[in-house]
Structure 1
Amino acid sequence: MNTILRSGSAQAEISSLGAELVSFTKNDTGTEYIWSGDAAYWTGRSPVLFPIIGAVRNGEIRVQGQAYKLANHGFARRSEFTIVEADESRAVFRLTSSEHTLSSYPFQFNLYITYTLNESTLKLEYRVENIDGQNIFFQLGTHPAFNCPLDENGSFSDYVLEFSGNETLDREFLNSAGLRISGKSEPVLKDERILPLTHEMFKDDALVFQNVASRTITLKSKLTAKSVAVSFEGFPDLGIWQKPNAPFLCIEPWQGFADGDGFEGELPEKEGIVTLAPEDHFTSSLTIKID
């Protein structure tokens, strides 16, 4: 089931499957900013990543000596969310632990995603609640894919990512299993805020950055006035990704990242993990502004 939010400037459409944003358009131009999910490249559009980000070693997590199979990026993106409430400009979706989720992730939780549309700005608020009688451990990430180019003017390589502040960032690399390669990194920005885009930069999969200081990243080109600004809170890490030569770009603020290729610990020892006490909650947000 899809829910449509409307404002005087834009329209957003969200699927209850994964509580996934599947469309975000400007009313005056009809421009679609979200990737179509064309299976020729990638069927995703803007999945939520929970309770892990990326890959876990051997495709499993370990909790108190027991192994649980868990697919890349977790199960939330393929789960049906309940629509808690919805009106013209706001919708709240909830995923609650179940027999199905407990078979791969042995913790009880509520995951809420609230969408609020205000003119051409869409805010996504994430809330994880611990409804278990013990600490729970998780990662949470975003994965919105934006059409690039945004219109008929120019090509992918005419676009840049503009960070809101100067950044010095080293890219981490992933192996064929999606695990971070120990000891392998490469400088990408050195006290700079503009990252020019090329298809070639994704030949080794995603660009993975830890501890990004900027809170806004803008996808833009000198050849068009159309742009997308992605702002975020509670997400210190970042993935930038596309399928080879695809006409889209994913800007992915994360809390956490994939396992390292040598990681042998249990879930609570995983780097970038969130520990949440019983009856406590975790919040973060992602805001997408289209021009």
Structure 2
Amino acid sequence: MKLPALRPMALASLIANVALIVTGAAVRLTDSGLGCPTWPKCTDGSYTTTQAMGVHGVIEFGNRLLTFVLAAIAIACFLIALLDRPRRRRQVRLSALVLLGIPGQGVVGGITVLTHLNPWVVGLHFLLSMALIVAAYALWRSTAEGDGTPVRLVPAPLRHLTALMVLSSAAVVVLGVIVTGSGPHSGDNGAKRNGLDQANISQAHADLVFLLVGLTAALYFAFRAVDAPGPARAALTLLVIELAQGLIGFVQYFTHLPVALVAAHMLGAALVWTGTLAVLWSIRERPIEATPDAPATDEPTPAQQPVPATSA
């Protein structure tokens, strides 16, 4: 049951949440984190940037304005899901989750300003963006799915391996946030750092990246071995993104974190996370109508999935 009106809006929401990460990186990398030194106003006497704030005020205020764009898209998604007939509760819930997450994200962004860019609060701000990407991605995928009980397309061991890969990807993101908090690009010349040794944290981050790449490669070959082309394509796409992201990460580290590469790495983090979600969603499908004679089981049946798969 596809909803043509909701699907493009849900995709716009996903893209806008990825864009917010990139614009947030621009704020930090241009030392504009305190371009608007207070919140919710930009200055004590104005909600908007003033000429006295200069380019830093324009950059920070522009990033704040993007929140209203995200909110407008989220409201549109919620209304479309709510008014659609027949109404689908799962899409209403997901669109409401995205909508409620945006003001929450704005509040945390305000706290980062009020705490003068505390690196741990800045990191939480980024992680909330990643959580919003999960909700937006789930909403988008739901527009091409039915509401039946999910059908597993791969054997249980591969589902477990996929879960381990997702956890590794999340760990890479979290540790990347900690690396950022120890590095030089604080968002403002006077902002504090987290005090951790950047070399050691970067090495731990790189080790987790190697683990993630290895797990993704293993998934690709395992999916091919059980003749699951959809999951295999998703894993291969993620692997390519990871390798590109890893290359950017190594180059930026050994060239002392140039701004352009750091910005590309931030975009890459969002793409890696989105690719991770694509693999997770690819290992199951929701039929348009759940039939009582073909319920979902722990292992795929011939009626549910023509791909032969043997559970260990």
TM-score of the two chains, using structure 1 as the length reference: 0.28
Structure number having the greater strand percentage: 1
Structure number having the greater helix percentage: 2
Q: Which has the higher contact order (CA 8 A, sep 6+)?
A: 2
Structure showing greater Rg? 2
TM-score of the two chains, using structure 2 as the length reference: 0.27
